[in-house]
């Protein structure tokens, strides 16, 4: 789904405080990545895959937040949401 479609559908919205969400999202990404590593160590590959996906999702959100937007349902937009270069300072 494209950036404008997500805005039009109300899936993302501008928010001046979005940047404040970056540290929490990065911390969540780190926790999920750690969980993925632990699951690989015990050969639980399916759970490692899920944890890795969640880590990537939280990491991607930081780009959205740095552009001044919050997600309502980012998963609806998909991982391939395109952030216009003009939105990133």
pLDDT digits (tens, 9 = 90+) for 42-62: 999 999 999 999 999 899 889
List the chain domain ranges. 3-87
> Hey, is 71 helix, strand or coil?
strand
How far apart are the C-alpha atoms of 86 and 48, rounded to whole Å?
35
Q: Under a CB-based contact definition with an 8 Å cutoff, are residues 32 and 65 in contact?
A: no
CA pair distance 79, 57, nearest whole angstrom: 7
Per residue in 15-52, pLDDT (tens digit) is: 899 999 899 999 999 999 999 999 999 999 999 999 99
| 83 to 3, 73, 74: CA distances (angstroms) | 6, 16, 13
For residues 20 and 26, what is the distance between their CA atoms, to the nearest angstrom?
Answer: 11
């Amino acid at each position: 789904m494209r950036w404008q479609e997500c805005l039009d559908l109300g899936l993302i919205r501008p928010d001046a405080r979005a940047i404040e969400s970056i540290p929490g999202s990065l911390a969540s990404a780190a926790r999920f990545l750690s969980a993925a590593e632990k699951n690989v160590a015990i050969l639980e590959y399916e759970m490692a895959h899920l944890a890795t996906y969640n880590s990537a999702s939280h990491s991607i959100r930081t780009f959205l937040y740095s552009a001044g937007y919050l997600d309502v349902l980012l998963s609806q937009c998909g991982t391939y949401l395109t952030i216009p270069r003009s939105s990133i300072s």
